[in-house]
A and B are shown apart, each in its own frame.
Chain A
């Protein structure tokens, strides 16, 4: 079963706006990762944040991690139509290197 939960399930915004997606998990983790998926095909890794980090940036992406609340957020600033995709969080549990994926957020950026 999936331990990750993401909200919102779907998000529709205008180009130029910021998009925020949230993720919760249930167990202790080594790290949390965010992936992007276009058209139901392979996932592409976006960013990894370790359990001892609170915030990380990569280009227009900003990820936060709150281990006390077992939650993470992904912020995409100045969104573009090309950012339209599904975004998944994945937690690596301390018990092993398996990743547990959330259900994903479908982001639509309207031009």
Chain B
């Protein structure tokens, strides 16, 4: 596609509910990243997928967070039993993943509000 897309743009949920956030990377990009950004803060790395390799999950804040990437393309970030502190903008990015210096291309983000 023309760029990285994310859905939904905004999500309001109640504490304790599960949410799924979707990311469609740029076609041909083998690397995909998820970040979280709290209001007025920098980006917090969550998880990184590179081709068929095992994902780097070292940034996931708790076992309530999980992500998968099907067919090396679309990725879904799932947050179970949401808490108010999960409220943030969740950003997805993709890159070529060719091993050299890389630019990451970001989607517009999903703004999550947990009430």
> Is the CB of A97 closer than 8 A to any CB of chain B?
yes
A4 to B99 alpha-carbon distance, docked (Å): 22
Q: Which residues of A contact B111 (CB under 8 A)?
A: 40
Residues 58 to 115 of chain B near chain A (Cβ within 8 Å): 89, 91, 93, 95, 97, 99, 101-109, 111
User: For the complex, what is the distance from the CA of A98 to the CA of B97, rounded to whole Å?
Assistant: 11
B75 CB to closest chain A CB, in angstroms?
Answer: 15
Shortest A99–chain B CB gap in Å is 6
Contact between chains at A42 and B42 (CB < 8 Å): no
Give the dominant DSSP class at B's interface: strand
Q: Contact at B108–A98, with CB atoms within 8 Å?
A: no
Complex contacts, B101 vs chain A, CB 8 Å: 30-31, 48, 50, 92
> Secondary structure of the A side of the interface?
strand
Residues on the A chain within 8 Å of B106, using CB = 35, 42-44
Q: Say yes or no for A88: interface residue by CB 8 A criterion.
A: yes
How far, in angstroms, from A42 to B44 measured CA to CA in the complex?
A: 14
Using A40-B89, A42-B106, A42-B108 as known contacts, say yes or no to A4 and B42 having CB atoms under 8 A apart.
yes
Complex CA–CA separation, A22 to B64 (angstroms): 36
Cβ A103 vs Cβ B104 within 8 A:
no
Is B104 a contact partner of A42 (Cβ separation < 8 A)? Answer: no
**Chain A: minimal CB distance from B42 (Å):** 4
How far does the Cβ of A3 sit from chain B's closest Cβ, in whole Å? Answer: 10
Q: Which residues of B contact A42 (CB under 8 A)?
A: 4, 91, 106-109
Q: B residues near A, CB below 8 A?
A: 4, 31, 33, 35, 37, 39, 41-45, 48, 50, 56, 89, 91, 93, 95, 97, 99, 101-109, 111
22 contacts between A and B (CB under 8 A): A2-B42, A4-B42, A30-B101, A31-B101, A35-B106, A40-B111, A42-B4, A42-B106, A43-B43, A43-B93, A43-B106, A44-B106, A45-B104, A88-B43, A90-B104, A97-B48, A97-B99, A97-B102, A98-B33, A98-B45, A98-B48, A101-B35
